[in-house]
Amino acid sequence: MKGAAGRLLPEAWLGLLFLYFFVPLLATGAFSLWEGGSRYGFAAYVALFHQPKLWQSLFLSVRLAVETILLGLIVLVPAVFWLNLRVPRLRPVFDFISVLPFVVPPIALVAGMTALYTGPDWLVGTPNYLVIPYVILALPYTYRALDLGMRVLDLRTMTEASQSLGAGWGTLIFRVVVPNLTTALVGAALLTIAIVMGEFTFANILLFNTFAVYINYVGQTSATQASALTLLSFLITWLAMLGVLVSGRGGRSVQIGGAR
């Protein structure tokens, strides 16, 4: 009896957790299907999907996410590589910098960016400007993922082994380091997507119509469409997180053993 009760307890907790997380989503989903009175249907979704602004904002956010991933990796892969290889004593400094985005509120960052609103036209007058704060926002996650991946790799031995075999830095990075960091790179990229797709403060204050800003706008004009959009954004974020989990599981064999 005691054993049976012991087995039931975790299941009960899981049930409660399920209710806690899914009841609001189910309610949101039900509300998004409400068409007034006692009618239910997909009117909100149809109306939403017919709005060009939705797709424009979605594509803009996806584009910004891709640009953020690229810039983040271009800056951080060599930096974290160098940190692990040559200046491990600077790790506390890197760790400190990497958590700054948690400490400095986005509103302070955006105020600073507005004050520095100068630069070439292709950057400042366009949504591309958002990539800079987005790289900073994603920094803690990208840095952690890359640092962990490189620490597991024993970078110094790998570097020296490949150099002794005649490889230059390019061969070392593209044939040895990057292929062994697949998990870390995919993880960093998907976390960045999740962050960029949901970022509101910067885009709203700098007056760019990203996906999150559009959700907010719709929320003020049509409640059911806003619910539909919320579910959609949840879906995107979840897919990204699922990707992190799946790549992490598959990637363990890449990290320790190798691609199959």
When the beta carbons of 89 and 260 are compared against other proteins, the nearer one is 260
Nearer to other proteins, 35 or 154 (CB): 154
Quote the least distance from Cβ 223 to other proteins, whole Å: 51
Specify the stretch interacting with other proteins by CB under 8 A; choose among 19-27, 38-46, 70-78, 172-180: 172-180
- Smallest gap from Cβ 117 to other proteins, in A, equals 44
Residues 224-253 that bind other proteins (CB under 8 A): 253
Task: Between 55 and 169, name the residue whose CB sits nearer to other proteins.
Answer: 169
**In the complex, what is the shortest distance from the CB of residue 179 to other proteins, in angstroms, rounded to a whole number?**
4
Q: Which of residues 112-171 bind other proteins (CB under 8 A)?
A: 153-154, 157-158, 160-168, 171
Task: Mark the segment that binds other proteins (CB under 8 A) among 37-45, 92-100, 123-131, 175-183.
Answer: 175-183
CB of 157 to other proteins, least distance (A): 5
Pick the closer one to other proteins by CB: 132 or 158: 158
Q: Which residues contact 10 (CB under 8 A, 6 or more apart)?
A: none
Phi, psi (deg, nearest 5) at residue 87: -130, 55
Q: What is the DSSP string of the chain?
A: -HHHHHHHHHHHHHHHHHHHHHHHHHHHHHHHTB-STT-B-SHHHHHHHT-HHHHHHHHHHHHHHHHHHHHHHHHHHHHHHHHHHT-GGGHHHHHHHHHHHHHS-HHHHHHHHHHT--S-HHHHTSGGGGHHHHHHHHHHHHHHHHHHHHHHHTHHHHHHHHHHTT--HHHIIIIIIGGGGHHHHHHHHHHHHHHHHH--HHHHHTT---HHHHHHHHHHH-HHHHHHHHHHHHHHHHHHHHHHHHHHHHHHHHHHT---
* Stretch touching other proteins by CB under 8 A, among 3-11, 87-95, 173-181, 223-231: 173-181
Tell me the closest approach of the beta carbon of residue 160 to other proteins, in angstroms: 6
What is the total count of residues that contact other proteins (CB under 8 A)? 26
Contacts with other proteins by CB under 8 A lie at 153-154, 157-158, 160-168, 171, 175-176, 179-180, 253-260
